[in-house]
Amino acid sequence: MSIELKSYTDADNFGTVQVSENVWGIEPNVDLMHMASVRQQNNARLGTACTKTRTEVRGGGRKPWKQKGTGRARAGSRTSPVWRGGGVVFGPRPRSFKTAINRKMSAKALASALSANREQFVVVADAQLQMTKTRDFAALLKKLNLNEGKVLFLTAYDENLYRATRNLPNVSVVHPLNLGVTDVLKHAHVLVSESALKTLEERLGA
């Protein structure tokens, strides 16, 4: 079975380009896609939230008032969690959310996402991406009918393309070697350069 993606090679030529069946034509594995998506989102978490316990907050050097005779409740320290400004009980502490799956499962999950969503991919010739102006890139998206919804742009890092896309709030630029399942699933359209397509297929062993 021949698998094709929509392509745009020059100003007046829309067509298709053949891609690897082993990457774009497999039966999607929803469970693997879910595992890979959870992994990607977990690994993106910083895990830096932190609160101070009663031993870390400032104060607490002396008993606030004597034990008896004041008519008030007994108190031993201003750092008690029941006091305003006191320590926090069971609050968040720095931790790692790192989740791992093996490389074969990760590759199969990404191939599943690509196969399930290949209709949203458009391949663009590298020659059509020689631009530095935001208005030129926006015009390209409009010509390709990709100006509605979020757009993922797969390309190797290029300073000129970065300048052309950084002010477009609906466009995200990702290197093909860094592409994850979540990136594919959360974007309505995916624009991929010819060179990035080749890199992506080589990454997945096509």
Instruction: Give the number of other CB atoms < 10 A from CB of residue 44.
Output: 10
User: What is the set of domains in the chain, with CATH numbers?
Assistant: 3-44+100-203 (3.40.1370.10), 46-96 (no CATH)
In this prediction, residue 11 has a pLDDT band, given cuts at 50, 70 and 90, of low
Cα distances from 100 to residues 33, 46, 154, in angstroms, run 14, 16, 24
In the numeric block, the tokens 């990760």 are attached to 106
Q: Please write the tens of the pLDDT for every residue from 105-147.
A: 999 999 999 999 989 999 998 888 888 899 999 998 998 888 7
Rounded Cα distance, 18 and 169, in Å: 31
pLDDT at 206: 63
What's the pTM value of the predicted model, to 2 decimals? 0.82
Burial 72-110 (b: 16+ CB within 10 A, else e): eeeeebbbbeebeebbeeeeeeeeeeeeeeeeebbbbbb
Q: Please write the tens of the pLDDT for every residue from 33-48.
A: 999 999 999 999 999 9
Residues 6 or more apart whose CB falls under 8 angstroms from that of 108 comprise 26, 29, 32
